């Protein structure tokens, strides 16, 4: 089932998009797509699109379609971020096209009536197994109520088909694509299904097709633990507040978790006691970038000693949790993670996995999820990958990316074959590298590929001449 089956996609030519200028200078439009691509004349929804036209129209090379970076997250917002962050050589020559994917954001968002607890804890709760079964089954029940008929159509393959409708509505024979995190998977699926229409493709912070999607959690749990160990090693130093050996640092971390589990800990400046569950998620988020590793050290120190955290730490934590996640975002995320491929339904699988789970996030990540109770089945298997037919695919990956472990990128690289290259930054703990990590070399290689269409001659590993990988990671990106 790899590749596109053109007979199953919309055959008519969509009408040209009518762009309207928005207050921020971008252009907005709506474009109808069929809910069920097997039934192109059936019910349709409107996708919300944004275009940031090429800054130098005379030098325009084409359209660069940006894929949403998380299931459920706004592709329109990501395009806005990229407009500011991409090298000028890219924004000069490409129209940046963003879209909220089907059933998210401004594109017929799902309304399931999820409450705040469900939205926040849907993936990260580590309570009793029985309680989690009920919690997750309730979420699946809420999905079934209003959305049973559309659930089978909320899949990555259908998002890829939507992208091809966007392409044709743009009047482009070929498009270039840029996708981070889940967006890397969307762009990869598009270039697998519609390879002849994919020109220059960048996959950044790459998901392995083997993870779709219960496997994502298993891999992620291991990676969180590995990153924590690394943090312990680098946080240990003579006279350091948490100890002079990695073991002592880990002990300090575990002791804070224990106290949090026993009754919660008050962190000066944080209005509510932090429980064990919350502290684990906070640690996970702070571990995900080397730029916030000092804040984790500060949190643990503060929790252990009662001394107030640094203002910068509080500000960072505040910014992480200040904006509550939107209910429709969480719903769309669930719909795709549970809809692309069937999850195991045998509860004992989850129970034994979460009991044996490695590391400080294992219990939460490997516990039962709503996918085990999903009320619908996939209508097609997930995409099988083989050598790409796209003009070229450049994979960009931080070696120690916690959210998307670098094995995902090496796996995808091996599947995509000759017309792909991997750009790996050794030692870097970063998620979403190009251009967000601000690494000049990465930006140069990726920008060059986008503007010339030429892949590097070989895979590239950047280590900037540093012998000590830890030193680089400690410092974070330049």
Partner 1 sequence: MSQPSSDLTVYYDQPVEWSAPDPGLGGARRATLRVPLDYRRPGERDIEIGVARHEATGHRQGVLMVGPGDDLGNSGLNLLTALLGSLPGALIEAFDVVGFDHRFMGASTPIFCDLEPSERFWVFHYPESFDAEVRYQATVAAKCAAGSLDLLAHANSRNICRDMDVIRGVLAADQINYVGYSYGTYLGAVYGEMFGPHLNRAVLDAICSPDWVWRGLFTDFPENGERALNRWCRWAATRHDTYGLGATGPDVRAGYDAVLAAVDRGDQVTLMGFPLDRTLARLIPVGILNSEKAYPVLADIVRHLRTGADLDAGSLDFLARMFGQPKEESGTVAQLAILAGDAFWPRSPALYEQDMLKAAGEFPWTGAALNGIKAPAFWPVPPTEPPTRLGTDAGGGSYLLVAADEDMSTPWVAARRMHEVLGDRSTFVTVADTAHHRVFPFYGNAGLNELVAGFLLTGRTPGPDHVCVNPDRMLEPVASGPG
Interface positions with partner 1 (CB under 8 A):
130-131, 133-134, 137-138, 140-142, 144-145, 148, 342, 345-348, 372-377
Question: Nearer Cβ to partner 1, position 39 or 56?
Answer: 39
Nearest-angstrom CA–CA distance, 473 and 455: 27
Interstrand relation of 175-180 and 198-204 (parallel, antiparallel or unpaired):
parallel
199 touches 224 (CB < 8 A): no
CB of 140 to partner 1, least distance (A): 6
CB of 373 to partner 1, least distance (A): 6
Question: Nearer Cβ to partner 1, position 368 or 398?
Answer: 368
CB of 212 to partner 1, least distance (A): 18
81 C-beta neighbours (distance < 10 Å), count: 16
Nearest-angstrom CA–CA distance, 356 and 250: 20
222 touches 245 (CB < 8 A): no
CB of 372 to partner 1, least distance (A): 8
Question: Nearer Cβ to partner 1, position 144 or 304?
Answer: 144
Question: Nearer Cβ to partner 1, position 371 or 427?
Answer: 371
Question: Nearer Cβ to partner 1, position 187 or 376?
Answer: 376
Question: Nearer Cβ to partner 1, position 13 or 131?
Answer: 131
Nearest-angstrom CA–CA distance, 474 and 421: 27
Read off the tokens for 28.
């907005």
CB of 367 to partner 1, least distance (A): 14
CB of 277 to partner 1, least distance (A): 19
65 touches 175 (CB < 8 A): yes
CB of 94 to partner 1, least distance (A): 42
Question: Nearer Cβ to partner 1, position 346 or 458?
Answer: 346
Question: Nearer Cβ to partner 1, position 258 or 345?
Answer: 345
Question: Nearer Cβ to partner 1, position 110 or 396?
Answer: 110
CB of 117 to partner 1, least distance (A): 13
CB of 102 to partner 1, least distance (A): 19
Question: Nearer Cβ to partner 1, position 44 or 347?
Answer: 347
CB of 133 to partner 1, least distance (A): 6
Dihedral pair phi/psi, residue 350, rounded to 5°? -70, -40
35 C-beta neighbours (distance < 10 Å), count: 18
**Angle, helices 327-339/129-147, rounded to nearest 10 degrees:** 100
**Angle, helices 276-287/311-322, rounded to nearest 10 degrees:** 100
Question: Nearer Cβ to partner 1, position 141 or 471?
Answer: 141
CB of 228 to partner 1, least distance (A): 32
């Amino acid at each position: 089932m790899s590749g596109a089956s053109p007979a199953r996609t919309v055959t008519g030519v969509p009408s040209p998009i009518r762009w309207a200028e928005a207050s921020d200078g971008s252009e907005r439009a709506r474009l109808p797509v069929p809910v069920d691509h097997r039934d192109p004349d059936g019910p349709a929804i409107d996708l919300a699109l944004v275009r940031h036209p090429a800054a130098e129209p005379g030098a325009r090379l084409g359209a660069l379609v940006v894929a949403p970076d998380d299931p459920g997250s706004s592709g329109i917002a990501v395009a806005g971020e990229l407009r500011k962050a991409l090298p000028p050589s890219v924004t000069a020559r490409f129209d940046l096209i963003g879209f909220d994917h089907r059933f998210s954001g401004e594109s017929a968002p799902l309304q399931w009536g999820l409450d705040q607890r469900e939205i926040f804890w849907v993936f990260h709760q580590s309570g009793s197994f029985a309680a989690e079964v009920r919690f997750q089954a309730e979420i699946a029940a809420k999905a079934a109520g209003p959305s049973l008929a559309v659930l089978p159509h909320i899949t990555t393959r259908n998002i890829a088909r939507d992208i091809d409708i966007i392409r044709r509505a743009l009047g482009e024979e070929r498009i270039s694509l840029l996708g981070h995190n889940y967006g890397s998977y969307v762009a990869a699926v598009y270039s697998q299904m519609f390879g002849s229409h994919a020109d220059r493709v960048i996959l950044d912070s790459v998901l392995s097709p083997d993870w779709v999607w219960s496997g994502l959690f298993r891999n992620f749990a291991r990676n969180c633990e590995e990153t924590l160990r690394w943090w312990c090693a680098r946080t240990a130093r003579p006279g350091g507040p948490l100890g002079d050996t990695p073991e002592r640092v880990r002990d300090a971390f575990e002791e804070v978790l224990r106290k949090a589990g026993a009754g919660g800990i008050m962190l000066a400046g944080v209005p509510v006691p932090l429980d064990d569950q919350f502290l684990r998620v906070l640690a996970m988020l702070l571990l995900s970038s080397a730029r916030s590793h000092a804040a984790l050290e500060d949190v643990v120190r503060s929790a252990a000693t009662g001394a107030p955290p640094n203002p910068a730490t509080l500000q960072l934590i505040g910014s992480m949790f200040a904006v509550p996640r939107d209910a429709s975002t969480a719903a769309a995320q669930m719909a795709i993670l549970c809809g692309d491929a069937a999850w195991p339904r045998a509860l004992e699988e989850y129970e034994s996995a979460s009991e044996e789970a490695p590391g400080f996030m294992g219990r939460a990540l490997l516990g039962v999820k709503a996918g085990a109770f999903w009320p619908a089945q996939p209508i097609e298997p997930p995409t099988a990958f083989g050598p790409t037919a796209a003009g070229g695919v450049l994979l960009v990956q931080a070696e120690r990316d916690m959210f998307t472990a670098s094995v995902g990128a090496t796996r995808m690289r091996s599947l995509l074959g000759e017309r792909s290259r991997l750009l790996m930054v050794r030692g870097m703990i970063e998620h979403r590298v190009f251009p967000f990590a601000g690494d000049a070399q990465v930006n140069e290689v990726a920008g060059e590929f986008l503007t010339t269409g030429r892949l590097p001659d070989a895979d590239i590993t950047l280590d900037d001449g540093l012998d000590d990988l830890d030193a680089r990671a400690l410092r974070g990106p330049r």
